[in-house]
Amino acid sequence: MFRFIKQKKQAREPERLQRQPLRLPQHIAIVMDGNGRWAAKRALPRSAGHAAGAETFRRVATYCKNIGIEYLTVYAFSTENWKRPADEIATIMELLEKYLHEALEKMERDKVKMKFLGDISVLSPGLRELIAETEELSKKFDGVQVNICLNYGGRDEILRAAERYAAEISKAEVSAADDHTTGTLTEEAFSRYMYTDGIPDPDLIIRPSGEKRTSNFLLWQSAYSEYYFTDVLWPDFNERELDRAITAYQSRSRRYGGL
């Protein structure tokens, strides 16, 4: 079950609360929330908030690579975000396209792998082509892997996984090694039908902006993740805030239901 970490307000962080390099989480996931409120507080259009949030993503991804995080997963656009105004959706997609063009130019230098999680079939042909090119180039590298959840929803992912499993069962395409011959579907076997196949579950999930809900993010994978909530809006989130989240994570004892 989930265990939540609530950030405590204090004047300053005690010196003893220092990030421990040898106990870093292998996989950090972040709900990039608060762009619109950040812009509203400054009497700016929401597009300005999304642009600022994109810069924060670049900075945080670079920091994760530099300190040795192996996987970073970010919630960029949910299956429910299509309900937003068309001009806002267009801005988000334009920013993503701009970022991918820049990433392709720097991937050889930065050695950052990228993978997209979600149903990208509804995206524009140009964006789908960029995504395919980015993922193909990523196969050459062994560095940090950045997973971008795009048109992603946790419930949708589980439904799609169930549909894929059922389709393979009906065609008798599932290996006997998956224990399906005995009529038993294991968690490990079912996980292979998820978007995150081959990716370890997140150790730490960070939710900025003061909201305290999962928002349909990594529902299957977060069963034993540690949660960290902060009131900081995503565009204001920085390396120091990430260190606070990691420090809080390192103070926890993860027992996975045991003693």
Does 33 qualify as catalytic in the annotation? yes
3-class secondary structure per residue, 13-32: CCCCCCCCHHHCCCEEEEEC
What's the token pair of residue 205? Answer: 């999930």
Q: Which helix (H) or strand (E) holds 54?
A: helix 46-67
Distances in whole angstroms, Cα of residue 235 to Cα of each of 6, 25, 55, 177, 211: 20, 23, 8, 46, 15
218 φψ region: left (φ > 0), alpha (ψ -120 to 50), beta (else)? left
Given 35, 66, 81, 178, which residue is catalytic? 81
Return the closest-CA partner of residue 225 out of 198, 207, 238: 207
What's the token pair of residue 249? Answer: 């994570």
Backbone φ and ψ for 38, nearest 5 degrees, come out as -60, -45
With contact defined as beta carbons under 8 Å apart, do 87 and 118 qualify?
no
Does 147 qualify as catalytic in the annotation? no
Q: What angle in degrees, to the nearest 10, is found between the helix axes of 86-110 and 125-138?
A: 20
Query: Each residue of 53-77: b (16+ CB within 10 Å) or e?
Result: bbebbeebbebbbeeebbbbbbbbb
Given 33, 156, 201, 203, which residue is catalytic? 33
Active site residues: 33, 81
